[in-house]
Amino acid sequence: MSPDEHRAQRREAPEPEEGDRGIPKIVMVWIVVLLFWGVGYYLWQIGKPMLGGDSRSVPVQVVASTEGGAAAIDGGVIYNANCSACHQATGLGIPGAFPPLAGSEWVIGDPAIAVSIVHDGLQGAINVAGGSYMGVMPKFGGNLSNAEIAAVLTHIRSEWGNQAGAVETSLVDEHVTRFAERGPWSEAELISTFGKP
Ligand code: HEC
């Protein structure tokens, strides 16, 4: 065997090995930083109104006519444009996520309660028609006029088998005078202010 026979083998570089320099430290640091950022951002967003991530506000798709008050506004149109994405066209909501309006004690009870929820928003745990929910409902005061809020409430109180009376614009006016710009309600605050529906 001549020494040249193993020249090819001798030329080979040794198999590369990672040793203890597997993943560069800077990459590990980045992974940890991104993980904290992602989880932190998620936690930071809890309880904030859902704006679809792009900061658009709910468009006012219905031009309000205050002449003739709530009766002149089609509450069904306002419902489809502003509420049905979450509470669904059927008024049944989505189990576990969005509570039903059909058969809801909060909708057909004291109308001042429903006015409060829609004008100011609602968050935290709430029991609706025997189910429990934990979400955030955006406020509509400012996006919808008082007459539009009255019209959409009149609509949901008389749809899907609900049989409760119409809501007058004056009730929404009274709400604004009494509570001004308060934050979102919770179930406990609604009960302590208006009583259990
Ligand atoms: C972004 C989704 C979303 C939209 C849009 C929305 N809601 Fe809600 N709504 C919720 C959530 C979530 C709750 C429950 C909040 C909680 O868990 O505290 C709720 C609760 C309610 C309640 C009290 C509980 C019940 O089911 O009776 C009423 C009344 C209500 N919404 C009416 C409306 C009306 C009227 C509109 C349209 C003007 C509307 N919502 C638009 C998500 C939404």
pLDDT digits (tens, 9 = 90+) for 5-62: 678 777 888 777 766 667 888 999 999 999 999 999 999 888 776 665 566 555 555 5
Whether ligand 1 lies within 6 angstroms of the CB of 172 is answered as no
- Report pLDDT digits (tens) over 55-101: 655 555 555 545 556 667 899 999 999 999 999 999 999 998 999 99
Asked if residue 147 lies in contact with residue 169, where contact means CB atoms within 8 angstroms, the answer is yes
Written as six digits, the tokens of 187 are 């179930």
Question: Which residue is associated with the tokens 């009730």?
Answer: 171
Whether ligand 1 lies within 6 angstroms of the CB of 87 is answered as yes
- Phi and psi at 63, nearest 5°, equal -80, 125
Ordered by start, the domain boundaries in the chain are 70-194
Written as six digits, the tokens of 61 are 């798709």
Structural fold of domain 70-194: Cytochrome Bc1 Complex; Chain D, domain 2 (1.10.760)
| Residue of the CA atom closest to atom 3 of ligand 1 | 86
- Report pLDDT digits (tens) over 135-180: 999 999 999 999 999 999 999 999 999 999 999 999 999 999 999 8
Question: Which residue is associated with the tokens 């089609």?
Answer: 74
**Helix (H), strand (E) at residue 193:** helix 187-194
Pocket test for ligand 1, best of 87, 108, 189 (most atoms within 8 A of CB): 87
Name residues whose C-beta falls within 8 Å of residue 141's C-beta, 6 or more positions apart in sequence.
Answer: 118, 119, 120, 149, 176, 181
> d(Cα 120, Cα 127) in Å, to the nearest integer?
18
Whether the model clears a pTM of 0.85, i.e. scores above it, the answer is: no
